[in-house]
């Protein structure tokens, strides 16, 4: 396979230098150019036709979101957003993903060491290179309306738990599923691979869009009907049970499958504590995180769903799960919410 | 850095005069696009990435007013700055154009420096930036 051609767009010369140097050591990745601003970037995109672009969304004298929207309109290609770990950075990054970017990376410093960042950058570039992007269209079509269902169907389901795991392309996919859940849905727990602060902004954004309450999980939060908990970036989230009450344990620990939060950690704990009362959903993303955990869930009697290849931005994690025999139903993204409800 | 410019005017002579003025102003222009009226301009924007639009007002088929209104409804290109270049001298008409989202108005005949000043403003640049396009590596962290 030929090298992945990468263009780095960042106003900071230091960041351009660090990224270029770090990536030069990665097999299969080649930085073909860097650009300090969007105009230069555009010229280089047209001339050099890169496979992946990393874009600093907070650059002076320009609106990164506007640039990204235009980019996705005229030259659609996989874009990784590089952003600061500030609340503003988190919000912008989320907007960027809604505008068509496939991945988010936090700038080195703060919660991540340079070592973690290196690995993540290379992983994300490989994931992005496989991502399917198309000319970006505005979201919120009519088919995004929440699924309607008789509330009586859910009255006997308070002991159920819905566990969802996703990575590349997952923020939009998770959004599509959660926005369709009715307020009577059993408790939902979500791991979406994302840096800290981005998960905060993500949960806030979803909370504004969904009929269910969406909250970034804190240690000890109860898993309740009508509520979705999002694992905070840089922490694992585990399902626990105390009597009849489900709650989550949010804690640090070694990365699993290069990830923290890891879907496997969530799914393993769901298999252990919810068994046949759980529904596991594995969605778009590179790698194999979640496959093993979903397999355990299925063995414990849980119903399991994987997003289908055609609707995945990257068909990696669901593919691995299917390969392991962990998946009961393969469903396109728009059908996942309904399938979950059918399984209740 | 190179900017892509769209010139909208029903007179091809005027289009080349505007083009010349921009070239003389020292801007690094990547591509020039031309359109004879608002409708043609929207067709250009559909296909090509434009950074700034210079548009006439009185044009057949779709005039500058309708063009500005139509532009607002386009999610991707609605933020593209539009500079009105016109013979229209009535204050209230110019005010109306600015109200519709035009970034600036230039009345014909104009001097190339006027265009330059407006483009600098549109791109949020000062003269230093233009003359020092390649900042030394490491200076901007």
Mean pLDDT of A97-124: 76
Q: Which of A51, A83, A84, A193 is catalytic?
A: A193
B66-95, pLDDT tens digit by residue?
999 999 888 788 889 999 999 877 888 899
B14-65, pLDDT tens digit by residue?
999 999 988 888 788 888 999 999 999 999 999 899 999 999 999 999 999 9
Q: Would you place residue B128 in the very low, low, confident or very high pLDDT band (cuts 50, 70, 90)?
A: very low
Q: Which of A10, A123, A264, A289 is catalytic?
A: A289
| pLDDT greater than 50 at residue A141 | no
Whole-complex ipTM? 0.71
Of A11, A43, A66, the CB nearest to B79: A66
pLDDT of residue B133: 43
Is residue A270 annotated as a catalytic residue, yes or no? no
Mean pLDDT of A96-120: 75
pLDDT of residue A158: 61
pLDDT of residue A60: 66
Locate tokens 């000043």: which residue? B117
Answer for the pair A182, A156: CB distance below 8 angstroms, yes or no: no
| Min distance B92 CA to chain A CA atoms (Å) | 31
Which ranges constitute the DSSP H helices of chain A?
Answer: 13-24, 38-48, 64-74, 87-98, 114-129, 170-178, 198-209, 263-273, 291-299, 317-323, 333-343
Q: Would you place residue B139 in the very low, low, confident or very high pLDDT band (cuts 50, 70, 90)?
A: very low
Please tell me the pTM assigned to this model.
0.76
Whole-angstrom distance, CA of residue A91 vs CA of residue A203: 10
| Percent of chain A with pLDDT strictly greater than 70 | 89
| Percent of chain A with pLDDT strictly greater than 90 | 61
Inform me whether the C-beta atom of residue A59 falls under 8 Å from chain B C-beta atoms. Answer: no
pLDDT of residue B55: 95
Burial degree of A81 (CB within 10 A; 0-12, 13-18, 19+):
buried
Q: Would you place residue A154 in the very low, low, confident or very high pLDDT band (cuts 50, 70, 90)?
A: low
Of A12, A40, A74, the CB nearest to B141: A12
Is residue A289 annotated as a catalytic residue, yes or no? yes
Provide the b/e sequence for A283-312 (b: ≥16 CB within 10 Å).
Answer: bbbbbbbbbbbbbbbbebebbbbbbbeebb
Whether the link from the prior residue into A23 is cis, omega within 30° of 0, is no
pLDDT of residue A170: 94
Provide the b/e sequence for B93-105 (b: ≥16 CB within 10 Å).
Answer: ebeebeebebebb
| pLDDT greater than 50 at residue A213 | yes
Please list, in sequence order, all residues whose beta carbon lies within 8 angstroms of the beta carbon of residue A335, skipping any fewer than 6 positions away. Answer: none
| pLDDT greater than 70 at residue A151 | no
Q: Which of A83, A99, A106, A167 is catalytic?
A: A167
Q: Report chain A's mean pLDDT, rounded to a whole number.
A: 88
Q: Which residue of B48, B76, B139 is the best one to mutate when testing the A interface, meaning the one whose CB has the most A CBs within 10 A? A: B76
Answer for the pair A304, A328: CB distance below 8 angstroms, yes or no: yes
């Amino acid at each position: 396979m030929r090298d992945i051609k990468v263009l780095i767009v960042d106003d900071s010369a230091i960041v351009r230098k660090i990224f270029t140097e770090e990536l030069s050591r990665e097999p299969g990745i080649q930085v073909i150019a860097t650009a300090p601003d969007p105009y230069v970037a555009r010229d280089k995109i047209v001339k050099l036709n890169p496979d992946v672009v990393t874009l600093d969304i907070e650059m002076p004298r320009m609106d990164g979101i506007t640039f990204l929207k235009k980019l996705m309109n005229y030259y659609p290609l996989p874009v990784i957003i590089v952003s600061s770990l500030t609340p503003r950075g988190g919000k912008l990054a989320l907007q960027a993903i809604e505008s068509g970017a496939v991945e988010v990376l936090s700038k080195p410093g703060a919660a991540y060491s340079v070592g973690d960042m290196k690995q993540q950058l290379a992983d994300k570039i490989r994931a992005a290179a496989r991502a399917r992007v198309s000319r970006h269209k505005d979201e919120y079509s009519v088919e995004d309306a929440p699924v309607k269902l008789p509330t009586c169907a859910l009255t006997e389901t308070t002991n159920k738990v819905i566990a969802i795991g996703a990575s590349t392309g997952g923020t939009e996919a998770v959004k599509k599923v959660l926005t369709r859940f009715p307020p009577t849905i059993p408790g939902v727990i979500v791991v979406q691979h994302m840096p800290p602060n981005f998960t905060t902004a993500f949960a806030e954004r979803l909370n504004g869009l969904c009929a269910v309450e969406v909250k970034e999980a804190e240690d000890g939060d109860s898993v309740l009907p009508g509520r979705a908990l999002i694992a905070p970036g840089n922490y694992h989230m585990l399902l626990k049970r105390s009597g009849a009450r489900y709650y989550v344990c949010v804690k640090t620990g070694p990365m699993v499958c290069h990830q923290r939060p890891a879907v496997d950690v969530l799914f393993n704990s769901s298999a252990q504590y919810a068994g046949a009362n759980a529904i596991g959903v594995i969605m778009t993303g590179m790698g194999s995180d979640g496959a093993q955990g979903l397999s355990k869930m299925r063995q414990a009697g849980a119903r399991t769903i994987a997003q289908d290849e055609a609707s995945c931005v990257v068909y990696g994690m669901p593919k691995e799960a299917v390969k392991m025999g962990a998946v009961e139903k393969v469903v396109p993204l728009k059908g996942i919410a309904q399938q979950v409800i059918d399984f209740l | 850095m190179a900017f892509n410019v769209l010139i909208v005017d029903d007179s091809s002579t005027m289009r080349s005069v505007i083009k010349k003025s921009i070239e003389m102003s020292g801007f690094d222009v990547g591509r020039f696009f031309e359109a004879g009226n608002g409708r043609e301009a929207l067709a250009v924007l559909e296909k090509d990435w434009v950074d700034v639009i210079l548009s006439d007002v009185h044009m057949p088929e779709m005039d500058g007013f309708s063009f500005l209104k139509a532009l607002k409804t386009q999610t991707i290109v609605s933020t593209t700055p539009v500079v009105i270049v016109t013979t229209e001298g009535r204050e209230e008409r110019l005010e109306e154009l600015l109200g519709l989202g035009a970034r600036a108005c230039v009345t014909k005949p104009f001097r190339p420096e006027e265009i330059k000043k407006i483009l600098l403003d549109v791109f949020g640049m000062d003269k230093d930036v233009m003359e020092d396009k390649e900042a030394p590596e490491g200076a901007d962290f």
